Amino acid sequence: MSMPFYVAPEQQMKDRSDFARKGISRGRAVVVLRYRDGICFVAENRSLALHKISEIYDRIGFAAVGRYNEFEQLRIAGIQQADMRGYAYDRSDVTGRMLANAYAQLLGSSFSNGTEKPFEVELVVAELGDAPAGDQIYRLTYDGSVADEENFAAMGGATELIADVVRRGIDPTAPLADAVRLAVRALGADTSPSGPRTLGPETLEVAVLDRVRPRPRKFRRLTRAQLAEVLNA
């Protein structure tokens, strides 16, 4: 009969963290930031079909980095929960906080459950308020911890550098074009030996929760043509 090796719980958690972090940092980054009329999501993503940014509900958006199949599964679970709740109660009863809590439970229990592989993802759940003061950006990490970010969140590889650029330039009262350009500049500032990169519209996925959109669903994607216009202005 063989005895399993003893692994200290601290070591076990650390190993699992390292594993998840390594997976996440391989991917391209995402920046979520507030602007004058709402919340803007900017991701480095060359694919037009495989999204990192998505609509969850009327005023709730979702962005993720890490393993595609895992965050896709979480995205669908979020949409299901939001739609189910909005149908059973009322559309106004679906909140970002509730979704962030549900995700935190799921990520946390998977992280501490020794028999499962932890999720290699990081998420942002952002909710648009009726007024700018009500805007919320929740950032969730692989272990289920939630941070209520003030004006922006950056996640993925090399986030320190990216967050630094955004922190210095952020202005929640600036128009959309300024916010997009700041995020794109930040995403290009990650560590590459040849210095900062310039990202073009064909390498980006951008969407907004737009407070001035006249329909109840505030989520809107920017097409590549619209994006080119914003970047070249």
Partner 1 sequence: MTDDLASSFFGLLSRTAPELLPAHRLSQGVPTGPAEQLSPHGTTIVAATFPHGVVMAGDRRATMGNYIAQRDIQKVYASDEFSLVGIAGAAGLAVEMVRLFRVELEHYEKIEGAPLSLDGKANRLAALIRSNLAMAMQGLAVLPLFAGWDLAGGLGRIFSYDATGGRYEETAFHSVGSGSIFARGSLKKIYRPDLDLHGCATAVVQALVDAADDDSATGGPDLMRKIYPIIMVAGPDGVHQLSDQEMTAITDEVIAGRRERPDGPAAPLV
Smallest separation (angstroms) from partner 1 to the CB of 215: 7
The single residue among 1, 88, 131, 225 that binds partner 1, judged by CB under 8 A, is: 88
Per-residue three-class SS string for the chain: CCCCCCCCHHHHHHHHHHHHHHHHHCCCCEEEEEECCEEEEEEECCCCCCCCEEEEECCEEEEEEECHHHHHHHHHHHHHHHHHHHHHCCHHHCCHHHHHHHHHHHHHHHHHCCCCCCCCEEEEEEECCCCHHHCEEEEECCCCCEEEECCEEEECCCHHHHHHHHHHHCCCCCCHHHHHHHHHHHHCCCCCCCCCCCCCHHHEEEEEEECCCCCCCCEEECCHHHHHHHHHC
Q: Which of 76, 150, 175, 200 binds partner 1 (CB under 8 A)?
A: 76
Q: Which is nearer to partner 1, 14 or 217 (CB)?
A: 217
How near is the Cβ of 132 to partner 1 at its closest, in Å? Answer: 25
Is residue 86 involved in binding partner 1 (CB under 8 A)?
yes
Comparing CB distances to partner 1, the nearer of 185 and 221 is 221
- Between CA 100 and CA 62 the distance in angstroms is 10
Sheet hosting strand 38-44, strand order edge to edge? 152-155, 30-35, 38-44, 204-210, 219-221
Examine residue 92 and tell whether it contacts partner 1 (CB under 8 A): no
Least distance (Å) between residue 126 CB and partner 1: 15
Nearer Cβ to partner 1 (34/51): 51
Stretch that binds partner 1, among 3-11, 73-81, 153-161, 193-201 (CB under 8 A): 73-81
Taking CB under 8 A as the criterion, the residue among 14, 18, 46, 84 binding partner 1 is 84
Q: Is 80 in the site for partner 1 (CB under 8 A)?
A: yes
The closest of 167, 164, 182, 159 to 231, measured between CA atoms, is 182
- Does residue 128 interact with partner 1 by CB under 8 A? no
Report the residue number, 152 or 219, with the smaller CB distance to partner 1: 219
Which residues 42-71 are close enough to bind partner 1 by CB under 8 A? Answer: 49, 51, 54-56
* Closer to partner 1 by Cβ: residue 54 or 110: 54
Positions 198 through 227 that interact with partner 1 (CB under 8 A): 215, 217
Q: Which residues bind partner 1 (CB under 8 A)?
A: 49, 51, 54-56, 76, 79-80, 83-84, 86-88, 215, 217
